[in-house]
Structure 1
Amino acid sequence: MRKPESMRALEDLGRTRLSENFFLRDFLHSEIAAFYGISNVPDDPALAIAAGTKLCEELLEPLQRHFGRLHIRSGYRSRAVNEFGNRNKLNCSTNAASAADHIWDMRDAGGCMGATACIVVPWVWDRRDRLDGWQSLAWWIHDTLPYASLCFFPKLWAMNIQWHECPARRIASYAEPKGLLTKQGMGNHSGSHAEHYRGFPDFRR
C-alpha cells in the first residue's frame, strides 16, 4: 500500500476501519502537525493499519465497551512530526524511541510492531473523587487487558496506552504519585489488584 499522494487518497485512507468503532482518521490529528504545517501521513500505511488495528481491537474497544466513549488526545505521529516535536521539546521522544509506539508505521530496533494512543476515560475522570487515584484505572487495565505499557499524565488522567508484539507490561506516571507503578519482576506485578478498583462496572468481554 502506497503513501497517499493526493487529498482524495488521504481521505480514502482515513476511512480505513481499524475496529468496530474506530477509523484511521480518528488518530491522524496532531496539534504539532496542524500548527506547524507538517504532514502527519503514514509512510507505510499497511504497517500503520496493522498496528492500529491491534491497538483498537485489543485495547480501545474493550475500554470503550466497558467505560463508554473514550476521548482520543493523540495517536499516530509521522516520523517528520515526531522528529520536529523532539527537536523542539514538544513532548516527543526520539524517533528511535517512538518506533512501534506513536510512530505506528516504523518497527522498533527489535523488528517488532506496535502502536500507542493517548486517551482520556471520562467515566473514570468524572469519578476521580471517589476512586483510588489514577492507579485504579491502571490496575484495572493491568488485570484485564493485554497492554504493553501505560503512562499517565496529570491533566484528566490522560494516558498513553500501547499495544506491542513484545509487551513490557510496564506502568509509569507523571501524575502524582509520580514514577513507576509496576513492571515485570516487581513484587506487585502478579496477582489480582481488584481492591484498587472497587465500584468499577463488571467487565463485558
Structure 2
Amino acid sequence: MKTPTSVATLTDFGRVRLSKSFFMRDFLFSDIAAIHGLLNLPDDLDLAIAAGSALCENLLEPLQDAFGRIAIRSAYRSCEVNGLGNSMMLAGKKGYNCASNESNYAVHIWDRRDVNGRIGATACIVVPSFWDRFQAEGDWQKMAWWIHDHLPYSELQFYPRYWAFNITWNEKPIKRIDSFARPTGCLTKLGMENHDGSHEHAWVGIL
C-alpha cells in the first residue's frame, strides 16, 4: 500500500480492519498532530498494518472480550509526530511525553523495526469497567498481574489517571511491567523472583 495522499486513499487506509473489533482509523489520532497540524501516517503501511494487527489480535481483543469496551488514548505515531513530541519534552514543554524515535521503533512507531529487527506496536488504553471498580492506591496491579498471567504482552507501563497503561506487543516479548502510579517503579521483569508462576491471588475477583 502507498501512503495516503487524498481523502479517498486515507479513508481506505482507515478502513483497514486489524481484528474483529478494531480498524486502523482507531489508532491514528494524535493530540500532538492535531495541535501542530501534522499528518500522523505511516511511511510503511504494510508494516504498520502487520504490527497493529498483532497488537489487536493478541492483546486488545482478549482484553475487550474479558473486560468490555476498551478506550484508546493514543497509539500509532509517525516519526515526525514522535520526534516533535520528544523535542518538546526535552525543552520542558508540558504535555509532551515522547521518548526518542529510536527507542519508540516497534513501540509507538509501528512502521519501523526495533534495533533487533523485530516488529511491534503499542497502544495506550483505558479499561473503563476496571477503573470504575478499582480505584484504591495500587489497584492497577490487579490488571497488571491478570495480563501477565493471561496474555503474550511484551511491556506494560501504568499511569495514575484512570489506570491508563501502555500495552506493547513484540515478536519477542520481554514481559516487563513498570508504573508511574503508586507504587512506582518496576513491578516485574525477567529474573525477578515474582516473575514466574501464577499470580491469581493478586487479580482474583476482577472479572
Q: TM-score, normalised by structure 1?
A: 0.96
1:59: Cα distance to partner? 0.2
Letter in 1 for 2:54: K
The question of 1:125 aligning with 2:128 is answered no
Letter in 1 for 2:42: P
Q: Provide closer, same or farther for how the CA distance between residues 144 and 81 of structure 1 changes in structure 2, counting only shifts above 3 A.
A: same
Report what 1:94 is aligned to.
Answer: 100
1:200: Cα distance to partner? 2.3
Report what 1:85 is aligned to.
Answer: 85
Q: How does 1:48-127 map to 2 (within 5 A)?
A: 48-89=48-89, 90-127=96-133
Letter in 2 for 1:44: D
Give the conservation status (yes or no) of the 8 Å contact 1:132–1:196.
Answer: no
Q: Distance in 1 between matches of 2:133 and 2:120?
A: 31
Deviations 1:55-91 (A, max 9, x none): 0000000000000000100110000000000000110
Aligned partner of residue 88 in structure 1, secondary structure: helix
Q: Distance in 2 between matches of 1:98 and 1:132?
A: 27
Q: TM-score, normalised by structure 2?
A: 0.95
Report what 2:93 is aligned to.
Answer: none
Aligned partner of residue 126 in structure 1, secondary structure: helix
Q: Distance in 1 between matches of 2:201 and 2:47?
A: 39
Report what 2:179 is aligned to.
Answer: 173
Report how many residues are paired: 201
What is the root-mean-square deviation of aligned Cα atoms in Å?
1.1
Q: Provide closer, same or farther for how the CA distance between residues 131 and 86 of structure 1 changes in structure 2, counting only shifts above 3 A.
A: closer
Letter in 1 for 2:3: K
Report what 2:156 is aligned to.
Answer: 150
Deviations 1:114-152 (A, max 9, x none): 000000011110011479610000000000000000000
Q: Give unmatched runs, 5+ long, in structure 2.
A: 90-95
Aligned partner of residue 10 in structure 1, secondary structure: helix
Q: Give unmatched runs, 5+ long, in structure 1.
A: none
1:171: Cα distance to partner? 0.1
Report what 1:184 is aligned to.
Answer: 190
Q: Distance in 2 between matches of 1:114 and 1:132?
A: 28
Report what 1:18 is aligned to.
Answer: 18
Letter in 2 for 1:63: L
Q: Distance in 2 between matches of 1:50 and 1:142?
A: 23
